[in-house]
Structure 1
Amino acid sequence: MLSGTIPSDIGDRFSSIEFLGFTDNRFSGVIPSSLSNLSTLKYLDLTDNNFTGYVPPALGRLQGLIQLYLSGHKLEANDKEGWEFIASLKNCSKLQHLVLSDNSFKGKLPSSIANLSTTLQMLYLGDNRISGVIPSNIGNLVGLKTLEMVNTSISGMIPESIGRLENLVELGLYNTSLSGLIPSSLGNLTQLTRLYAYYGNLEGPIPASLGKLKNLFILDLSTNRLNGSIPREVLKLPELSIYLDLSYNSLSGPLPSEVGSLTKVDQLILSGNQLSGRIPDSIRNCISLEQLLLDHNSFEGIIPQSLKNLKGLTLLNLTLNRLSGGIPDFLGSIGGLQQLYLAHNNLSGLIPTVLQNLTSLSKLDLSFNNLQGEVPKGGVFSNGTYLSIDGNGELCGGTPQLHLAPCSTTTAEKNKKQLSKSFVIILASISGLVFIVFVVAIYQLIRKKLTQIQGSQLVPMAMHEQYERLSYHVLSNGTNGFSGANLLGQGSYGAVYKCTLPDQDIATAVKVFNIQQSGSIRSFVAECEALQRVRHRCLIKVVTCCSSIDPQGNEFKALVFEFMPNGSLKDWLHPESGIHTLSNTLSLAQRLDITISIMDALDYLHNQCQPPIVHCDLKPSNVLLAEDMSARVGDFGISKILTDSTGTGELNSVSFTGLRGSIGYVPPEYGEHCAVSTLGDVYSLGILLLEMFTGRSPTDDMFKDSLDLHKFAEAALPNRVVEIADPAIWLHEEAMDVDAASSAIARSRIERCLVSVTGLGVSCSKQQPRERMPMRDAAMEMRAIRDAFLVAASSPN
């Protein structure tokens, strides 16, 4: 924890020094130019301090320099000045390592970087604000083994000359603005073991020449604009073992049978493409697979029996395809399966009872298929929090919390009923065409009439409705005339009331829009547009809607949601009484579970919805808690649906003026009129995380001048996090009746968890969007933090 500045005359003090390291301290100020006088210096390591200003060009005089580490500062450069040191380092003919990552360098990357010594083996430029293109003669650096330009604004095409870097072992080009085709010359990098080029704008086909990378064990080209088929050559890479991720592109055609050549790969991720045909039986040979993600494609046919060979599978995601047939019993023989997602297919028949024997299964999503019959009650089926079976109208039985009708018929009667139903279907089909034509004509007539009455088509007809649309009078009666006694909360565009539906005795929450409030109708439309597209256990469920006229002849619009008896997260973080007790606050474990649910919801909106949806207003009052304290994200009133191609363009026509979001949670770039993006939600999530675990709102009176919640938490990392943690967390811990030794162990475990969570919150709420962790990565890290906490809690030591 050394601080202060390095003496300006340091270069005159050590005439024979070869190694000088100040790593991981708190030195500040500028890097002294006199360092260039240390003529015998071979290794200079200033990593992770607080140096500012420009890098002295005089460092180029250190002709014996082998390693130069300058990462983790606030060093600057721009298009006008600051980059001169790159040109000067040309004189360092023995230079092997140059690490400049995680600084404030910006402006165009100078072409002189390609003139560095051919002895250079490592070049790290990531986590800066560098723009411009990769120099076309980058291939001059023939000695490079590692090249990293990640998390920058580098744009343009990957130059063909990169294929001359035949010693390259690792190439990192992810989270950049690189575009154009992937050069076929990449196939010349036969020593390459890791290729990361995700989160970019790369387009065109994946070159078959990548099949020559025989040493590659990680290939990640996800979240680009790649199209065409998956090259068979890529699927035959012999050492591909950690993962292959081609997800969220526009790849099409069948999955080649050569996928069976991936006998060593742990993770195969092909989500979010346009792949079609059957899942090939050759996948049986992928015996090392732990995670198989084929969701959001157009695969059809049955779930192949060949999957039963994948005994090590822990995650299988086949959501949003066109799979048919039944759920095969063999899935129950994959003993280590932890997550199984089969939602939004055309699966039919019974739910196999053997699935309840999977003791490791913690997530099961069978929603929106054509499943029927009795729901098992054991295993994962015993906890509705981790089970989703919505959208299967003929299921019955199960545990009481599923609220399904009891199964009153025997198996024989069910079979007989099924045969009878088939007969009815055959008869109905004979006269069905005539009937459909008649119904369509009536429907169009009614729709036209409704459109004339309401003046506009404000309610999307595609919205899934569990009940018929309700009238104003039904909602008025159910809320006792929208009385204050039933008022649950008030927002910018209306109020929410508790409502009991007639003849159902079901409690719901009715969001009534204030039509006189500017923007309320647009908010109603935006929420309808979003809600008709989403289905997820961690999102608030819409029951139905109402677009009607009140008794005074005024327009009336409302949405009806499932009722959340435990209110909002805000109520539990900041009790209205101001007094924190065990009964009105959350334990650490509860906060971790709620956080996981929020992240799962956002990951679904950003990465599994096509097109993606940005929530735009994530805050504690928009996170609601069910009876079992599981969380649901709600209020899509200012959400944005993005285009498929860019991820930033708006699809829905509804527009809003002013700042999008709530004060304290709005990402700073929105104030500069930047486009809405998923990284804006990541910022709001980061602030929400910090609020959940510090107990302080971002609008707290203590935050003024330049101090905000992000800086407050960042300054406490890692050693003072306990001091800023929400005292209510310790309140729950102290309530545990344990001995002193156990208490000390528990406190240490909690402290480690708080440091990790706070660090994640800080990473997500960085000022610059490109510096924030993508939602998918944040969700994975949060799950790892929660799992580590639970494992430690269950350990006797």
Structure 2
Amino acid sequence: MPLVRIRCLLLLLQLLLLFSSAWMGHGGDEGALLAFKAKISHHSGVLDSWNQSTSYCSWEGVTCGKRHPWRVVALDLSAQGLTGTISPAIGNLTFLLSLNLSTNALQGDIPTSIGSLRRPQRIDLSENMLTSVIPSNISRCISFREMYMYSNMGVQGTIPPEIGDMPSLSVLMLFNCSITGTMPPSLGNISRLTKLSLSMNYLEGSIPVGIGNNPYLAVLQLSVNNLSGLLPPSLLSNPSSLYYFYVAENKLHGRLPSDLGNGLPSMLQMGIGGNQFTGPLPLLQDLQVFVLDYNMCEANNEQDWEFIDSLTNCSRLQMLSIGGNQFAGKLPSSLANLTSNLQWLRTPSNYISGVIPSDIGNLASLANLDFDDNILTGAIPESIGKLTQSIQLYLYSNNLSGRIPSSIGNLTALSELNASGNSLEGSIPPSIGNLRKLSALDLSSNKLTGVIPNEILELSSITIFLSLSYNLLEGPLPSEVGNLVNPKQLSLSGNKLSGEIPDTIGNCRVLEILTMDDNSFQGSIPATFRNMAGLTILNLANNQLNGSIPSNLATITYLQELYLAHNNLSGVIPELFGNSTTLLCLDLSFNNLPDMTRSLMIAIPTVAALLLILSGLVWAGSLYRKLLKTTPKEEVAAQFIERELPIVPYKDILKGTDGFSESNVLGQGRYGTVYRGTLENEATVVAVKVFNVRQSGSYKSFQAECEALRRVRHRCLVKIITCCSSVNHHGQDFRAIVFEFMANGSLDRWIHSNFEGQNGQITLSFSQRLDIAVDIVDALDYLHNGCKPPIIHCDLKPSNILLNQDMRARVGDFGIAKVLHEATIKYLAYSGSTIGIRGSIGYIAPEYGEGLAVSTSSDVFSLGITLIEMFTGKSPTDDMFRDGVSLHFYAKAALPYKVMEIADSNMWLHDGAISNDNDTWHITRTRECLSAVIQLGILCSTQLPKERMSMSDATAKMHAIRDKYICTKKSK
């Protein structure tokens, strides 16, 4: 009997414990949920059911367990419009397996109490507005398999190294946050990791080697960071499940392994997993996406390109994109042997030479083929007509020649075709008229001849643009042009078109930009132009048009620019032009119109003073474009030398530099060496930039610098004296540019070195730095707003700013500058693509790492960094700037009260007033001025381009700061 009683008591005790546990779980979980609700300030109604009138296990979004029916195992409130914060009470849901709060507007910290959860397998806090670091104690959640915290721009700090202690973690998604620091090596310890995405953060340093040892890793996304160093060989040379490799827009460098897709060593092929392999096992047998765009990886010879040969073993490859790197040498023919499953093949903005493989048509599944902005030569292969699945074909900005193959008309799926900026010849194939899905066609800046095929003008599918400008097309413009009822832009400039402009052109009612300048059109301006109600730019300059200006042109509502210069127009000028509220530029010069002074002044008053300048720039630009359209790329710089600058023989340069003596070396860069020299019987001291023709990209740099400098004339830009394009005494190509000599070297030396300068000074005074800053902004303002087309310097930094005898600045080194030709601007406007811009670390704008289009705001960013550096003496690449701290934020944190603490103390060595503690008035005024300069630098170097000052505003502001300081000193 006692034994039975004992058993009953034990049973009762178990029941009491079970009931107590269930009751405690009930109260604890319900209380945690109500505490969570209390922190939510708004929701879509999903929490209306969360009240104690019903069991919390029936509340919307809440799931309780089967084995433990009173314990919450899942909480899913995704996309419910939640605002507020996440309550730390969430850590009391100790049986929680899955937490999903994604796609809301939650703010505040990620609760550290999440680290107390022991059972969760999945947590998703993505797409919120959380603003904290990732708790290091989250590693205690050893059951975690999937962690999603992406698209929380406020999540910052570093990736906790402890995250490598989560052995079950298979998915880690932290992209599009503000995470800084390095990738912890411990990430390589997570042996079950299959997906890792850290893209769009601020990570730096190298990719941990250990990551490449994970055989299960399938997805690796590290794009849009500041990662540097080499790609770990183990990452691409070990057998793995990797199928998605996306590391674009970083600073990775070096050569790709030649065995990227090759087989394993033969001894490993004999019996793996009980199978017997008869051929090589691909290292990356599952690889589908390989994107390495906009890094600094390179290839210079056939051996370096062997990674393409190995990729032919990757039968599942769908995307191969290596644009915006430093790949040079000839494009390997094995490219055409890649898998027929390949859909994207992109190599833009490199230095690739040679011809397009003749068998490129083997890649029958290609939807996007992009070879633009290289130095490819030869003809477009006939086999390109086999790419019948292609939607986008980009071949622009190369040196391609020969005829456009008629087989291109077989690409009936094509939406965009751009082959501009080459040396293509012959007539335009009428077969292009078969491309009934074509929305954009650009064949500009070639040497195409013949008439415009009617078949092209029948393409009603063209909705973006049609550009045939700057060719050698002739004959009348067919009346079928009226069938182009949908394009927003039509450009026929710079050809030999003649006859009257057909009235049917008025049927192109949605046109916004129409350029027909630099032709031989005759007759009157059609009155039907009035039908193009959305027209913003109309350019008919440099033709032979006569008659009067149709009065209804002045009634086009959105017209902003009208160019009718250099025609034979007569009659009166429509009065309505003077009342236009949209017209920004009207050029009627060089016609037979009355009162030309008045005709040039009827644009909006704020821009009237610019009209004569614009007219001259348009005319000068048209002359150069005519030269460009008839000249192969290789000859542009040479003809510029012959036509615009005196020729200097190689022997004169050899003699003037003492045989390129080391004692005359002024500096050395990537593409060549700058020597001090003399010309004209040793009467003129010059700087001679000699290009290393063996260095990949040196010709491109020479060409870019020639093209930019031939267009500019400004006191704040380094003056080009002459060029030399010849052969040296060994019979090798020789290219050099001769500049005016800058006696005081680069600004960089004066900021960061203590050397004996002029008049015994050892550094730059505050006043001198202000003057130099004014010179720099004036130079950039001229390049951006005074040149037509604009010029983007792309590499503004103190080492590219030189000082003359009077310590005034001259901006130089246009080796990677970009002249924004019409075709370039147009393509960027519609495609949003970048054009392979490269700059210097620390000064390059962050948007180039995000794939955004080239713009003047990138120079503004570099200007901002340069201004801060000038007045603080700190380089943006200084060792102190790491772990998320940058020169920009260093300066911003000092405003407004600590600005004197970050100032370069060397500035005050020449200003006795500053060192005199009693002169508080002058110190205060100087502090105000310094603060204003630093503030300007900060406003120019913001992360987002749209938040930066415009160049014109920055110029005005810098002048005002300098002028105020001068007045302050005078008044004192």
TM-score (norm 1): 0.55
1:296 aligns with 2:296: no
Equivalent in the alignment of 2:314: 92
Equivalent in the alignment of 1:599: 787
Over 3 Å counting, the alpha-carbon distance change for 1:178 and 1:195 in structure 2 is same
Alpha-carbon distance, 1:517 to partner: 10
Over 3 Å counting, the alpha-carbon distance change for 1:745 and 1:723 in structure 2 is closer
Equivalent in the alignment of 1:124: 346
Equivalent in the alignment of 1:774: none
| SS of equivalent to 1:156 | coil
Q: How does 1:493-572 map to 2 (within 5 A)?
A: none
Deviates more, 1:4-13 or 1:282-291: 4-13
Contact 1:43-1:65 within 8 A present in 2 as well = yes
Q: How does 1:214-293 map to 2 (within 5 A)?
A: 214-293=436-515
1:158 aligns with 2:380: yes
Q: How does 1:353-392 map to 2 (within 5 A)?
A: 353-373=575-595, 375=598, 380=604, 383-388=607-612
Taking only aligned residues, the RMSD between alpha carbons, in angstroms, comes to 5.3
Contact 2:206-2:229 within 8 A present in 1 as well = yes
Alpha-carbon distance, 1:5 to partner: 3.1
Contact 2:237-2:257 within 8 A present in 1 as well = no
Equivalent in the alignment of 1:309: 531
Alpha-carbon distance, 1:581 to partner: 12
Contact 2:585-2:608 within 8 A present in 1 as well = no
Letter aligned with residue 598 of structure 2: V
Alpha-carbon distance, 1:189 to partner: 0.2
Over 3 Å counting, the alpha-carbon distance change for 1:169 and 1:686 in structure 2 is closer
Q: How does 1:678-689 map to 2 (within 5 A)?
A: none
Q: How does 1:58-137 map to 2 (within 5 A)?
A: 58-60=260-262, 61=282, 62-137=284-359
1:597-622, Cα deviation, whole Å (9 max, x unpaired):
3222668xxxxxxxxxxxxxx99999
**Aligned match of 1:333 in 512, 536, 555?**
555
| SS of equivalent to 1:356 | helix
**Aligned match of 1:46 in 247, 251, 260?**
247
Alpha-carbon distance, 1:383 to partner: 4.8
Letter aligned with residue 21 of structure 1: Q
1:195 aligns with 2:417: yes
1:24 aligns with 2:196: no
1:761-796, Cα deviation, whole Å (9 max, x unpaired):
xxxxxxxxxxxxxxxxxxxx989999xxxxxxxxxx
In structure 1, how many angstroms separate the alpha carbons of the residues matched to 2:489 and 2:286? 44
Over 3 Å counting, the alpha-carbon distance change for 1:207 and 1:66 in structure 2 is same
In structure 1, how many angstroms separate the alpha carbons of the residues matched to 2:877 and 2:336? 38
| SS of equivalent to 1:349 | coil
Alpha-carbon distance, 1:129 to partner: 1.5
Contact 2:482-2:508 within 8 A present in 1 as well = yes
Equivalent in the alignment of 1:579: 767
Letter aligned with residue 20 of structure 1: L
1:349-401, Cα deviation, whole Å (9 max, x unpaired):
22221101221111111111121148377652675324349999xxxxxxxxx
In structure 1, how many angstroms separate the alpha carbons of the residues matched to 2:335 and 2:615? 58
Q: How does 1:614-633 map to 2 (within 5 A)?
A: none
State, as a whole percentage, how many aligned pairs show the same letter. Answer: 40
Over 3 Å counting, the alpha-carbon distance change for 1:347 and 1:750 in structure 2 is same
Alpha-carbon distance, 1:300 to partner: 1.1
In structure 2, how many angstroms separate the alpha carbons of the residues matched to 1:199 and 1:114? 24
1:576-606, Cα deviation, whole Å (9 max, x unpaired):
9963899998799999865543222668xxx
Contact 1:52-1:75 within 8 A present in 2 as well = yes
Equivalent in the alignment of 2:189: none
1:244-282, Cα deviation, whole Å (9 max, x unpaired):
111111111111111101100000011111111111100
In structure 1, how many angstroms separate the alpha carbons of the residues matched to 2:350 and 2:496? 34
**Aligned match of 2:812 in 665, 671, 674?**
665
Letter aligned with residue 4 of structure 1: G
Equivalent in the alignment of 2:238: 37
Over 3 Å counting, the alpha-carbon distance change for 1:9 and 1:188 in structure 2 is same
Equivalent in the alignment of 1:57: 259
- Equivalent pairs counted in the alignment come to 516
Deviates more, 1:71-80 or 1:120-129: 71-80
**Aligned match of 1:5 in 201, 206, 220?**
206
Contact 1:336-1:358 within 8 A present in 2 as well = no
| SS of equivalent to 1:340 | strand
Over 3 Å counting, the alpha-carbon distance change for 1:719 and 1:152 in structure 2 is farther
Over 3 Å counting, the alpha-carbon distance change for 1:364 and 1:71 in structure 2 is same
Alpha-carbon distance, 1:669 to partner: 9.7
Over 3 Å counting, the alpha-carbon distance change for 1:169 and 1:252 in structure 2 is same
1:531-559, Cα deviation, whole Å (9 max, x unpaired):
xxxxxx9989xxxxxxxxxxxxxxxxxxx
| SS of equivalent to 1:87 | helix
In structure 2, how many angstroms separate the alpha carbons of the residues matched to 1:785 and 1:312? 33
Contact 1:228-1:253 within 8 A present in 2 as well = yes
Letter aligned with residue 604 of structure 2: V
Alpha-carbon distance, 1:12 to partner: 3.0
| SS of equivalent to 2:358 | coil
Alpha-carbon distance, 1:668 to partner: 5.1
Q: Which runs of 5+ in 2 are unaligned?
A: 1-201, 263-281, 617-642, 644-679, 686-710, 715-746, 748-763, 792-799, 818-834, 840-854, 900-923, 926-933, 956-972
In structure 2, how many angstroms separate the alpha carbons of the residues matched to 1:181 and 1:782? 43
| SS of equivalent to 2:293 | coil
Equivalent in the alignment of 1:409: none
In structure 2, how many angstroms separate the alpha carbons of the residues matched to 1:695 and 1:291? 36
Over 3 Å counting, the alpha-carbon distance change for 1:690 and 1:226 in structure 2 is same
Alpha-carbon distance, 1:73 to partner: 2.1
Contact 1:3-1:28 within 8 A present in 2 as well = no
Alpha-carbon distance, 1:327 to partner: 1.9
Over 3 Å counting, the alpha-carbon distance change for 1:103 and 1:756 in structure 2 is farther
Contact 1:144-1:165 within 8 A present in 2 as well = yes
Alpha-carbon distance, 1:347 to partner: 1.4
Over 3 Å counting, the alpha-carbon distance change for 1:80 and 1:214 in structure 2 is closer
Contact 2:802-2:812 within 8 A present in 1 as well = no
In structure 2, how many angstroms separate the alpha carbons of the residues matched to 1:302 and 1:6? 66
In structure 2, how many angstroms separate the alpha carbons of the residues matched to 1:241 and 1:688? 30
Letter aligned with residue 172 of structure 1: Y
| SS of equivalent to 2:304 | coil
Over 3 Å counting, the alpha-carbon distance change for 1:16 and 1:152 in structure 2 is same
| SS of equivalent to 1:370 | coil
In structure 2, how many angstroms separate the alpha carbons of the residues matched to 1:309 and 1:5? 59
1:692-726, Cα deviation, whole Å (9 max, x unpaired):
945969x999999xx9x9999xx9x997568799x
In structure 2, how many angstroms separate the alpha carbons of the residues matched to 1:313 and 1:18? 51
In structure 1, how many angstroms separate the alpha carbons of the residues matched to 2:535 and 2:866? 41
1:177 aligns with 2:399: yes
1:466-495, Cα deviation, whole Å (9 max, x unpaired):
xxxxxxxxxxxxxxxxxxxxxxxxxxxxxx
Contact 1:126-1:148 within 8 A present in 2 as well = yes
1:222-262, Cα deviation, whole Å (9 max, x unpaired):
11111111111111112101011111111111111111011
Alpha-carbon distance, 1:167 to partner: 0.1
Over 3 Å counting, the alpha-carbon distance change for 1:86 and 1:244 in structure 2 is same
TM-score (norm 2): 0.46
| SS of equivalent to 2:425 | strand
In structure 1, how many angstroms separate the alpha carbons of the residues matched to 2:943 and 2:778? 13
In structure 1, how many angstroms separate the alpha carbons of the residues matched to 2:369 and 2:394? 6
